[in-house]
Amino acid sequence: MELILISNSKLKIMLSAEDMKKYNIECDGNTAMRRGFKPVLDVARRDCGFDTDSGRLLVQVFPSRGGGCEMFITRVALECGKGGMRDASVCIFENLEDMIRLCRILSFRGYGKGSAAYEIAAGAYALILPEFDRDESLPLGAAVISEFGYRRDCENIEGYIKEHGRVIAEENAVARLTEFC
């Protein structure tokens, strides 16, 4: 196994075919791969100081010609509350019904430009609202959101949701979800 620390938040791991057998890792991302992955991360933490505990991990696995693989591990810190106004707000909901209810209110008030909706976990949903804070047609917008879900203005959360969530509506989600009511 070869470890290359690219940055404080990115690590490249090269595994030979023998390493993959040793750690029970396959390139298809199955459960056995996840079990074998933890000892590899332990080695990375011990040998090069790669921090795996202070954020979510994005793992990309690519097969090598010799039967091994290359892994790129990126730590995605979800530190909320930093910075000023964001280009988009992310609203999290515990059920689809609450997300649709908020969409009805936003649509009634004329908002919906470029919004997107995702399922982010079993029974949890996210609505991405571009330029939400800047839209003058939505006074007290945060108060409206708090009736149905909660808002997360985190640095990396929008990209994380787009990469790991299941798309419900990628364009104009507010208008499209309102059609179901």
Q: Which fold would CATH assign to domain 88-178?
A: Alpha-Beta Plaits (3.30.70)
Instruction: Tell me how far apart the alpha carbons of residues 156 and 86 are, in angstroms, rounded to a whole number.
Output: 11
pLDDT mean across residues, the chain = 78
H or E element in which residue 24 lies: none
Mean pLDDT, residues 31-41: 69
Condensed to tens digits (0 to 9), the pLDDT of residues 40-88 reads 888 888 898 887 766 677 777 888 888 888 888 887 654 444 433 346 7
On the 0-12 / 13-18 / 19+ scale of CB atoms within 10 A, 162 is middle
C-alpha distance from residue 174 to each of 27, 112, 122, 166 (Å)? 38, 5, 21, 16
Give the pLDDT score at 38. 82
On the 0-12 / 13-18 / 19+ scale of CB atoms within 10 A, 144 is middle
Give the pLDDT score at 155. 63
Contact 41, 52 (CB under 8 A): yes
Give the pLDDT score at 82. 40
Q: Among 33-37, 74-78, 82-86, 116-120, whose mean pLDDT is lowest?
A: 82-86
Q: How does residue 31 score in pLDDT terms, banded at 50, 70 and 90?
A: very low
Checking if the pLDDT of 26 tops 80, the result is no
Give the pLDDT score at 167. 92
Give the pLDDT score at 168. 92
Residue ranges, comma separated, of all CATH 3.30.70.1950 domains in the chain are 88-178
Instruction: Tell me how far apart the alpha carbons of residues 65 and 44 are, in angstroms, rounded to a whole number.
Output: 23
pTM (whole model) above 0.75:
no
